[in-house]
Structure 1
Amino acid sequence: MSTNISNPNLTNSTGHINILLVSIYSFISFFGLIFNLIALFIFYHNKFRSQTVVYMTNLATADVLLILTLPMRIYYYLGFDNLPQWLCEVLGLVLKANMYGSIFLLTSICLDRCMAVTFPMSSRVQEWRKKAPLVCLGIWLLTFGASVPIYLSKRSQVKNKDCFDGLPVYATNLVVVLPTLIVGFGIPLIIMLICSWGLARAVRRSTATQTGQVDEKKIKRMIITSLFIFILSFLPYHVILVLFSLVDVDSIPQPMKAAYSYSLMVACFNTVLDPVAYYFTTDTFRKSVDMGAVWRMFPLSSQSPGTERRIHNS
């Protein structure tokens, strides 16, 4: 095994170290794990478990499971290319399933908040919101239930020996990619956009905003930030999947393969951004966190935008 340090754009199939991927995945593993474990501790000790907290608890759990797959990626990008192929495939499957679980849970949080603020007096809406645990169970069953059959059916076709640098057949086959793009990203993105617009519209028309009790600009910044994090995290990966579907798998150029690895890394970075979003959008979470300790761990912005209590605790 070579111990030479390569250019970040070189793949690890030659045994080179990819400094950029090692650094970013190490950052995600350390801070993502700490932040999400803090979040889980707070959520599980929260006496008032609202529907949003149920979704956030499941989201933090999904993020932790995703993070637990990253040490093997760090090991691989340090130049150790002796991982068994089955382990690469299983860890990739777990990562992808949890990534889409995160997408669906983030969408559910946005939809739940929108419904809570837009239809606060509707008994039917309130009854539907109480089904949050069942919705979360359905998301777990959907993500893993849909991923495992695809993995098993395509496993025998996988010929690549490049572990995490290789392109899985079940992520480049058009029959699989098309529904993944539509159901796994397209529909959630549309729901996020519509709900963000509806939430901003409801806040603008609320009595609290019109009487000056609530800062509309700060709430809009919170909505835009949540939407921005979602798009920033998951759009690059799905754009790469679209490009893959347009070319022959055997003739994909090396730069596009490198772009796939980096887009997956960006998607994983969402596990660090989610807890930050919890802090800025949830009163209970913000009051429970000793930010002085966090500042000492890593320099973050000291500004925390004000938000409307009904939206936060919905």
Structure 2
Amino acid sequence: MQQVIMSNNSCQNGSTDPYSILSVCVYSFISTVGLVFNVTALAFFFNHTKSRSQTIVYMTNLAIADTLLILTLPMRIYYHLGFLGLPQWLCDGLGLVLKANMYGSIFLLTSISFDRCMAVSFPMSLPVQEGRRKAPVVCLGIWILTFGASLPIYLFGPSSGSHNNCFDNLPVYATQPVVVLPTLLLGFAFPLVIMLISSWGLVRSVQQSTVAQTKLVDSRKIYRMIATSLLIFLISFLPYHATLVLLSLKSYKTSCTVLTAYRYSLMVACLNTVLDPIAYYFTTDTFRRKVDIGAVQRMFPLNSQSSEVNGRSRGPRNS
């Protein structure tokens, strides 16, 4: 995404400072582990079309968005190793792809949470089930929205004017009030509210389920699944958007502390591409049965019911 230069040159980093070293390590970890995890997930999703539910449609698109984001990271590693002078069009283009796919991930995670809530809360409602079948259309709309909203900023935003600061510059929407407010509201606050409402609705449905009350379904595992999804969302994206709030305030725009916090929060946001495949494993029974990732299971012993199991607590499998 088009970027502008930071006004305080003392905030710039060299290839041997702690931030650049940490950036190389973190982005290398995300590139390696995240790519393996997401390619494995995509291989499963595309090879098991018979188990393709509405939730799997969202997860497939989420894995694609995460993979595209990961593919932008090698050039960031290259830059933080001290190789300056990258073409500005490349910096801007990779920034566009990263930010668009980050917000695509946010919207897709929100869609998964909402879809799961609808599947469990209204398993016998024909209008709800008909609406859920429009998952491919929803995904297409998300792709159009994220790239369509980002492209004008990339094309018509102010020029950064320097080739040496590439990925250390701030994005336009972090400094332009007319852009930052819609970004915060539509890109984070609204999805978070939807996830919270969906999680509450899912908990309420489980509590009212006669199957859960008879202990045929372990409701505690379902609660862990809900908590895990919300925790991943908040850990990944809350720090990033909190720094955007500070950067949107005039008094903080030249603060090196806030600018440094922005860079670190971006790394945390990118870490979501590693956490999402772990969420697939914990929330989809079919994925857990078919994909042999015993090492991950030993590292993360948390186990939870899938949306399919949740659906059986209220009616026929719909997710």
Q: How does 1:1-314 map to 2 (within 5 A)?
A: 13-16=13-16, 18-46=20-48, 47-154=50-157, 156-160=158-162, 161-247=164-250, 251-292=253-294, 294=296, 300-307=299-306, 309-311=308-310, 314=319
Report the AA paired with residue 62 of structure 2.
L
CA–CA distance in 2 between the matches of 1:40 and 1:15?
35
Q: Deviations over 1:279-300 (max 9, x none)?
A: 00001110111123657xxx61
Deviates more, 1:70-79 or 1:95-104: 70-79
Please state how far the C-alpha of 1:82 moved relative to its aligned partner: 2.2
TM-score, normalization: structure 2? Answer: 0.89
Please state how far the C-alpha of 1:198 moved relative to its aligned partner: 0.4
CA–CA distance in 1 between the matches of 2:43 and 2:138?
22
SS in structure 2 at match of 1:203:
helix
Q: Deviations over 1:74-113 (max 9, x none)?
A: 1111121221222111111110000000000000000000
SS in structure 2 at match of 1:157:
coil
- Counterpart residue number, 1:7: none
- Identity among equivalent positions (%) equals 63
Distance 1:23 1:180, change over 3 A: same
Q: Give unpaired runs (5+ residues) of structure 1.
A: 1-9
Bigger relative contact order (CA 8 A; separation at least 6): 2
Please state how far the C-alpha of 1:307 moved relative to its aligned partner: 4.9
CA–CA distance in 2 between the matches of 1:306 and 1:126?
21
Q: Deviations over 1:151-192 (max 9, x none)?
A: 1110x4323541111112233211011001111111000000
CA–CA distance in 1 between the matches of 2:264 and 2:279?
23
CA–CA distance in 2 between the matches of 1:22 and 1:98?
21
Distance 1:48 1:292, change over 3 A: closer
Q: Give unpaired runs (5+ residues) of structure 2.
A: 1-9, 312-316
Q: Is the 8 A contact 1:26 1:74 kept in 2?
A: yes
TM-score, normalization: structure 1? Answer: 0.91
CA–CA distance in 2 between the matches of 1:73 and 1:12?
15
Please state how far the C-alpha of 1:15 moved relative to its aligned partner: 4.1
